[in-house]
């Protein structure tokens, strides 16, 4: 399965001559506005816009993705942005981040249930924040979004995103907010204990 995923994403990214650097999403900037920059893990980073945007704001970023082609395009953007990012090419079914290492973990437009969620919760430092936003199933507001997966295995059921991280204290949870239609957005914090 991972090999098929890598081939699919490599082919998609190979069709891109040059990737534009997209700005950080306003809701993400708001979520991190009061936090002192520290360590962040950007999961399924794709072409790296979120990772680069956070690095430009002083965060020490580790970005992981399955596609070496996508990561190569991201590295080109980093050169132009003059920031340092630790890029990791890895299958997220196998990737194990260091325990209690990250102040923030971001997962945007990606869904993998099960063990990855457990590993991400363990990778947060006490007080660390996990931010996950991705697409909902059966939500007519997002049916035609270009990045929306067609495979129902990669779409959330109502209430599911919050349930994926039971050991985190819920900071915020929304489904189909006005600024992110057809998606669910979760922010959870690891206990200080």
Whole-angstrom Cα distance, residue 118 to residue 55?
25
Average pLDDT over residues 30-52: 94
Whole-angstrom Cα distance, residue 45 to residue 60?
15
| Predicted local distance difference test score (pLDDT) of residue 141 | 54
Q: Does the structure show a pLDDT above 50 at 30?
A: yes
User: Who has greater pLDDT, 43 or 81?
Assistant: 43
Residues 114-124, buried b or exposed e (16+ Cβ, 10 A)? eebbebbbebb
| Predicted local distance difference test score (pLDDT) of residue 1 | 47
- Domains plus CATH for the chain? 2-7+36-189 (3.40.50.150)
Average pLDDT over residues 116-135: 96
Is residue 126 within 8 Å of residue 187, measured between CB atoms? no
User: Who has greater pLDDT, 120 or 176?
Assistant: 120
User: Who has greater pLDDT, 40 or 12?
Assistant: 40
Q: Does the structure show a pLDDT above 80 at 35?
A: yes
**What tokens appear for 81 in the block?**
């942005």
Residue range 143-153, pLDDT digits in tens: 555 566 777 78
State the average pLDDT for the chain: 87
């Amino acid at each position: 399965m991972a090999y098929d995923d890598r081939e699919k994403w490599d082919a998609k990214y190979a069709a891109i001559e040059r990737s534009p650097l997209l700005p950080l999403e306003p809701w993400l900037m708001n979520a991190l506005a009061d936090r002192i920059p520290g360590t962040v893990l950007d999961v399924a980073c794709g072409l790296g816009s979120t990772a680069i945007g956070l690095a430009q704001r002083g965060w020490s970023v580790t970005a992981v993705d399955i596609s070496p082609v996508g990561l190569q395009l991201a590295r080109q953007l980093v050169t132009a942005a003059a920031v340092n990012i630790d890029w990791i090419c890895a299958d997220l079914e196998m990737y194990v981040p260091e325990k209690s290492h990250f102040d923030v973990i971001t997962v945007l437009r990606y869904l993998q249930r099960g063990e990855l969620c457990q590993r991400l919760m363990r990778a947060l430092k006490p007080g660390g924040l996990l931010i996950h936003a991705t697409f909902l199933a059966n939500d007519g507001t997002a049916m035609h979004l270009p990045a929306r997966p067609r495979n129902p295995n990669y779409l959330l059921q109502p209430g599911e995103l919050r349930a994926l991280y039971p050991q985190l204290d819920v900071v915020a949870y929304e489904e189909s907010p006005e600024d992110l239609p057809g998606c669910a957005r979760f922010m959870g914090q690891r206990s200080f204990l």
